[in-house]
Amino acid sequence: MRERVKRHLEDFKKALTNLEDGVRQSDNDLTIDGTIKRFELCYELSWKLIKEYLADMGIICNNPRDCFKSAFANGLLDNEETWLKMIEDRNYLVHTYTFEKSREIFERIRDFYADSLKYLFIHIQQKIVGD
């Protein structure tokens, strides 16, 4: 694996750890909003990690949707639909944002997205160690 993929994985690992801490500790509006921001960062780092990892395999993707579809096809993601919904939710948070909807998205972060992001980390890490 290229050194660049390993650097992306380390950055993603730190962001994921912060997201998991945020999910566990979120009990008021301030901590929920902080966790949502941590999710946004994790999302950005996840697709950039996927892009680098797949490029190393000779697979080119240039946007989150294509990267997530290719990552699912290559066994890096647990559920393609979860990741496609993640795109919608991230875009909503960044471009539209309402308080009520942000709380619905937080529930998906807590109940689904954090686990899916962890799955990605574990599977890419295993593939790097296996190489």
pLDDT of residue 1 exceeding 90: no
pLDDT of residue 129 exceeding 80: no
User: Using CA atoms, how far apart are residues 10 and 95, in angstroms rounded to an integer?
Assistant: 28
| Predicted confidence (pLDDT) per residue in 96-113, tens digit | 889 999 999 999 999 999
Domain 3-130 has CATH 4.10.520.10: no
Number of Cβ atoms within 10 Å of the Cβ of 22: 23
Query: Residue 38: its pLDDT value, please?
Result: 98
| Predicted confidence (pLDDT) per residue in 27-86, tens digit | 999 999 999 999 999 999 999 999 999 999 999 999 999 999 999 999 999 999 999 999
Number of Cβ atoms within 10 Å of the Cβ of 63: 10
* Contact by Cβ (8 Å): 61, 54: yes
- Which alpha helices (H) appear in 57-113, and where do they start and end? 64-73, 80-95, 99-108
- Average pLDDT score, the chain: 95
**What residue spans define the domains of the chain?**
3-130
- Report the predicted TM-score, pTM, of the whole model to 2 decimal places: 0.95
User: Using CA atoms, how far apart are residues 39 and 61, in angstroms rounded to an integer?
Assistant: 22
Question: For the chain, what is the radius of gyration of the CA atoms?
Answer: 14
